[in-house]
Chains A and B, each alone.
Chain A
């Protein structure tokens, strides 16, 4: 019997103990995808042939006593990572015919670690969304309640891991796109420090904010996969040249003496009372194990959403100018002239939310408005960053809720962009300051998962994962499965 609820660490151990082969595990999860993907819509592309070839190679490595903790373990990539010879859509009609000619560094490194690629997961178009409803390939459904969103933009990765169609999936986080879906589907979601993981081959949305990470069942799994993904890459000029710690070896740290800052601004108006009490109960538990709780105020943090909705659209309008119908992707039929080619290709190829963000960005960067919007937002970004820096002089980590509410209904927020944007109110700050942050399950409200967010100083992933792991050693929230997929 193959345990579909096993973690990456457990499957890796089972493979090395020859309890099952990678081919068997891979078939098992492909079968689960076959069975459940029609209802969840978590995958854009399933790659069974590639998966079986990867699994056979992994089995040969394991038989020779080679490989590491990830060898033979299946994974899925968010469809924002380029995968050589495999459709890579970013959830957009614009790239609905794009077969990537090379692998992203993240893809290359996890393949080199011996992981088995099962497919590419659905996502908000170009990672712009918080509900996975902007995808050209249709909305993803939350395994905990099919009438609700899984969060976004890494919604397909979240739904796939939550339903145990795959033990782990990659994601990207520009304003909360790993942590928010992790919170809404009961997973551990890690956004590393900006520059920790290479962005090479990861389709760009907002280059000063984008960072790759993972959606997993536990902090231990996040530690194992991050260690294989992270590290310097000469092909990404913002990738940081710093040693990658053995995150798994650093998991076992006592919580005694840990100074936890409680972000006062995260417990105000708009926070669902059920989410608030689940998070407070978690904080009390940390205190009971010897951590110190410190009330911390970050006065400029409430400005993070408006700051983000200037900076991110500005960078997106620039990044997405490459989609011009000339070199790759969608092209409109029978263009009259070059201008018509550009305008119709982009008008047809992009969905409504992407067009809205490109136009917002175009406006805030245009002559006469640049200082009032873009430059002003960059200055406020500096103030928000300074708030975090001051806080970390007093405390080791910051904690608060990941999202204001549990998963909302599909369609509930699509009519009003600002209501949708405010869903990321607690996650955006870490992106603006480039900080690592993790969301861990900390309760259920009316049967829906709730996330505790832990934010640390730059390059403190080791401490963040140890802090999350300590919680998961004492609680079982991360082991809860959606009843339909248990």
Chain B
């Protein structure tokens, strides 16, 4: 699989990553090489094989009782935020 510059620009946009002009050819090369490398998986016979998402068989997602177990940590958590006001996270204007 060889990716074009346009492909990589599109992937970067989907991933919300700004890529500079200088970085672009490096990623075109390395991402194409990685995809070519993983293509050897195509040769494995996997008809009828179940996809494996979790390493332990028989593990089921546990459910807990619907009870309040946490106290309010908003101020402590928001101490790490780049910008807050009145307990709200600030972002650039979304709606004109």
Closest CB-CB distance, B76 to chain A, in whole Å? 5
Contact across chains for B53 and A208 when beta carbons are under 8 A apart: yes
Q: Give CA–CA (A346, B12) in the complex, Å.
A: 10
**B49 contacts A by Cβ under 8 Å:** yes
**Complex interface residues of chain B between 2 and 45 (CB less than 8 A to chain A):** 8, 11-20, 23, 26-27, 30-31, 33-35, 37-42, 44
Q: Report the contact-size class of chain B (Cβ under 8 Å from the partner).
A: 35 or more
**B68 contacts A by Cβ under 8 Å:** no
Q: A327-B89, A336-B92, A434-B56 are in contact. Are A379 and B51 (CB under 8 A)?
A: yes
Q: Give CA–CA (A383, B49) in the complex, Å.
A: 8
Q: A317-B15, A346-B18, A355-B19 are in contact. Are A385 and B52 (CB under 8 A)?
A: yes
Q: A317-B15, A328-B81, A337-B92 are in contact. Are A359 and B64 (CB under 8 A)?
A: no
B-binding segment of A285-293, A360-368, A391-399, A442-450:
A360-368
Which of B23, B34, B39, B50 has most chain A Cβ within 10 Å? B34
Which residues from A are CB-within-8-Å of B41? 303, 306-307, 310, 373, 376-377, 380
Contact across chains for A306 and B80 when beta carbons are under 8 A apart: no
Closest CB-CB distance, A253 to chain B, in whole Å? 25
Q: A327-B89, A329-B80, A362-B11 are in contact. Are A240 and B38 (CB under 8 A)?
A: no
Q: Give CA–CA (A385, B54) in the complex, Å.
A: 11
| Chain A interface mostly | helix
Q: Give CA–CA (A381, B46) in the complex, Å.
A: 10
Q: Give CA–CA (A337, B50) in the complex, Å.
A: 43
Residue of B26, B42, B94 near A338 (CB, 8 A) is B94
**A234 contacts B by Cβ under 8 Å:** yes
Q: A194-B55, A306-B41 are in contact. Are A327 and B12 (CB under 8 A)?
A: no
Q: A341-B92, A355-B17, A433-B55 are in contact. Are A101 and B80 (CB under 8 A)?
A: yes
Q: Give CA–CA (A286, B31) in the complex, Å.
A: 43
Contact across chains for A208 and B55 when beta carbons are under 8 A apart: yes
Contact across chains for B89 and A377 when beta carbons are under 8 A apart: no
**B79 contacts A by Cβ under 8 Å:** yes
**B67 contacts A by Cβ under 8 Å:** no
Contact across chains for B17 and A310 when beta carbons are under 8 A apart: no
Contact across chains for A376 and B19 when beta carbons are under 8 A apart: no
Closest CB-CB distance, B57 to chain A, in whole Å? 9
Which residues from B are CB-within-8-Å of A376? 41-42, 44, 46
Contact across chains for B56 and A356 when beta carbons are under 8 A apart: no
Q: Mark contacts of A212-255 with chain B using CB atoms, 8 A cut-off: 1 yes-contact digit, 0 otherwise.
A: 00000000000000000000001001101000000000000000
Q: Give CA–CA (A355, B44) in the complex, Å.
A: 29
Q: A303-B41, A379-B49 are in contact. Are A343 and B17 (CB under 8 A)?
A: yes
Contact across chains for B34 and A343 when beta carbons are under 8 A apart: no
Q: Give CA–CA (A376, B16) in the complex, Å.
A: 26
Q: A377-B38, A379-B51 are in contact. Are A327 and B15 (CB under 8 A)?
A: no
Contact across chains for A362 and B15 when beta carbons are under 8 A apart: yes
Contact across chains for A352 and B23 when beta carbons are under 8 A apart: yes
Which residues from A are CB-within-8-Å of B56? 193-195, 240, 434, 458
Contact across chains for B79 and A99 when beta carbons are under 8 A apart: yes
Contact across chains for B52 and A359 when beta carbons are under 8 A apart: no
Closest CB-CB distance, B81 to chain A, in whole Å? 6
Which residues from A are CB-within-8-Å of B15? 317, 346, 355, 358-359, 362
Which residues from B are CB-within-8-Å of A101? 73, 76-77, 79-80
Which residues from B are CB-within-8-Å of A307? 38, 41
Q: A310-B41, A341-B92, A350-B17 are in contact. Are A417 and B11 (CB under 8 A)?
A: no
Contact across chains for B12 and A338 when beta carbons are under 8 A apart: no
**A378 contacts B by Cβ under 8 Å:** yes
Residue of B nearest to A100 (CB): B80
Q: Give CA–CA (A198, B45) in the complex, Å.
A: 35
**A326 contacts B by Cβ under 8 Å:** yes
Which of A240, A348, A375, A434 has most chain B Cβ within 10 Å? A434
Closest CB-CB distance, A98 to chain B, in whole Å? 6
**Complex interface residues of chain A between 302 and 327 (CB less than 8 A to chain B):** 303, 306-307, 309-310, 317, 321, 324-327
For the complex with contacts A309-B37, A321-B16, 20 further pairs of A-B residues with Cβ separation under 8 Å are A101-B77, A195-B55, A195-B56, A195-B59, A303-B44, A307-B41, A340-B92, A348-B18, A355-B19, A355-B23, A359-B11, A360-B34, A372-B42, A377-B41, A380-B46, A381-B51, A382-B52, A383-B49, A385-B52, A421-B37
Interface of B toward A, CB cutoff 8 Å: 8, 11-20, 23, 26-27, 30-31, 33-35, 37-42, 44, 46, 49-56, 59, 61-62, 64, 73, 76-77, 79-83, 89, 91-94
Nearest first, the 6 A-B pairs at minimum CB distance are: A434-B55, A347-B18, A378-B51, A331-B82, A328-B80, A379-B46
A-B contact pairs, 5 of them (CB 8 A): A303-B40, A307-B38, A359-B17, A362-B14, A382-B52
